[in-house]
Amino acid sequence: MMLGGAGMLLVASPAQAAGTSYKTECLPPPISGLPPVQGTTVVQLTAPAEAKVGDTVEVVWKTVEAASKNPDILDLDKDTVKPTGTIKVGGAATGTLKMEGPRQNPPIPKNSAMVLSDMKGTLKLEKAGEITLTPDAYDINVSKPLSTDTKCSPKEAVAPGATIKVTDGGGGTAAGGTTSGSTGGSTTAGGTTSGSTTAGGTTSGSTTAGGTSSGSTAAGGTTSGSGGSGGRTDFPGKEVSVHFACTSPGPADIATKVTIDAKKSGGSYALTVKTAKGVMNSPAALPAGALKPSMDIVVGGADKGSVKVTGPANTEPLEQGKPVDLSDMTGTYKPGASGKSTLSPGTLAIDVTLGSSKINIPCKVKGSVTPSLELDTTAQQGGASGSASSGASGTSGSTAGSTTSGGGLADTGAEDNGTLRALGLVAGTAILLGGAVFTFTPWRRLRGTR
């Protein structure tokens, strides 16, 4: 192997620039919802043709063509893309040379070629002989709107991109060690990637996505209660299983338990909706206040319509790949009909906000759902009855930020699919959306009910 960093950097004479291409698979950030990308990477390596034992040489990796374009989701801003990569060292010495490029790029429009800065690394030559340099895997980090990584690796044997003939300058030692730092203005070769995070990497500890525990509780053995005489005010619902299918860039499927509890106040009911703990894994590292859940509760039986319930945003940062507990969601149900009315889980929405960037990921119910709660209701003026397409209950008595709304489930979810997809990639940071990283893998299947 080569040991980098020590000694004087040699600007070899003459320098050589050789090109090589290889089939590559790129894995987009888990949050992007995009499948793996198959393409061809074209790399030009520049290194001295000849050098002596003890010299420290600079190797430059120029990406002539990346394996994928920036997808047709959003434009990448200037100086938001940073590449890192690895070169395999073979021949007279073996090892790896880590390469790093600056976060430096022109604006990159969507559906256009990726433009990556040149990566550099320094190599100390410690053994005479012919050394080969072969480009290997590389990562692309996008810093906005979220920090996301696309990881690319060869899918075939790669030919060497450059060769250095090392002559014995006396006093050479057996090659060993690892690649190391740079000199002058070049970036550290073998140091940590500034500002980037490994897509899919592990992080310690999990945090909840809200200030309250989202563990659902069994609501006894029954789902019904009298909302009229007797003075009863608390009506616990039963825990029911629900499967959700989410729109990209959300997860393909969420399986969880949902419980709908009600508390009578006058003629209306204050609803509290809980999901199971660890309902999904965070697709990216998100700051506090970035993720907020909401759900449309479907009103059936004697009454018709829907009630929107919302939960507070996460109070603590979320770590990529760690389980997320959705906060309890609240809202107010105002009956529009008298009789036995049921409340069932409907469309779940996950809202992610990073600065001025917002994304809404709707997750619709798959299959049939058993009602969580049945109430003996009395019609109230302006209630939910008959609101299959408009006007469920009003907002009186609702918790801050939550309102009731009518409309069938088809009317819920993202209002702007284009914005949704763009932000989705934009997970650049949390949006989890992939900072618009140019390639992405589907969001990992979210964790089901405990």
pLDDT (0 to 100) of residue 385: 59
- Is residue 206 included in any domain, yes or no? no
- Is residue 210 included in any domain, yes or no? no
The distance in angstroms from the start CA to the end CA of the chain is: 48
Residues 163 and 236 in one domain: no
pLDDT (0 to 100) of residue 389: 33
- pLDDT tops 80 at residue 255: yes
- Is residue 264 included in any domain, yes or no? yes
Residues 241 and 128 in one domain: no
- Quick check: pTM over 0.85? no
Residues 138 and 235 in one domain: no
On whether the CB atoms of residues 381 and 339 are closer than 8 A, the answer is no
Residues 148 and 264 in one domain: no
- Is residue 184 included in any domain, yes or no? no
Residues 160 and 290 in one domain: no
Residues 139 and 232 in one domain: no
Q: Which residue has the tokens 């990584």?
A: 149
- Is residue 173 included in any domain, yes or no? no
Report the C-alpha gap between 175 and 71 in whole angstroms.
43
What mean pLDDT comes out for the span 300-315? 94
Tokens for 371?
């009602």
In which band, very low, low, confident or very high, does the pLDDT at 214 lie, cut at 50, 70 and 90?
Answer: very low
- pLDDT tops 50 at residue 83: yes
If one compares 352 and 346, the residue with the highest pLDDT of the two is 346
In which band, very low, low, confident or very high, does the pLDDT at 236 lie, cut at 50, 70 and 90?
Answer: very high
Burial 49-86 (b: 16+ CB within 10 A, else e): eebbbbbbbbbbbbbeebbbbbbebbebbeebbbbbbb
Question: 125, 141, 167: which is the final residue of a domain?
Answer: 167
Residues 41 and 133 in one domain: yes
On whether the CB atoms of residues 82 and 35 are closer than 8 A, the answer is no
Looking at the structure of the chain, the number of domains it has is 2
- pLDDT tops 90 at residue 228: no
Q: How many C-alpha atoms does 268 have within 13 Å on its Cβ side? A: 21
pLDDT (0 to 100) of residue 433: 37
Report the C-alpha gap between 436 and 433 in whole angstroms.
7
Digit-coded pLDDT (tens) for 149-159? 899 999 999 99
Residues 232 and 368 in one domain: yes
Report the C-alpha gap between 392 and 388 in whole angstroms.
8
- Is residue 212 included in any domain, yes or no? no
Report the C-alpha gap between 314 and 291 in whole angstroms.
6
On whether the CB atoms of residues 435 and 111 are closer than 8 A, the answer is no
Note down the domain range covering 127.
9-167
Residues 119 and 252 in one domain: no
Residues 156 and 261 in one domain: no
DSSP summary character for residue 326:
B
If one compares 35 and 329, the residue with the highest pLDDT of the two is 329
**Range with top average pLDDT, 19-33, 249-263, 298-312:** 298-312
Residues 270 and 122 in one domain: no
Average pLDDT, the chain: 73
pLDDT more than 70, % of the chain: 66
Digit-coded pLDDT (tens) for 2-19? 433 333 344 444 566 667
- Is residue 125 included in any domain, yes or no? yes
* CATH code of 21's domain: 2.60.40
- Is residue 442 included in any domain, yes or no? no
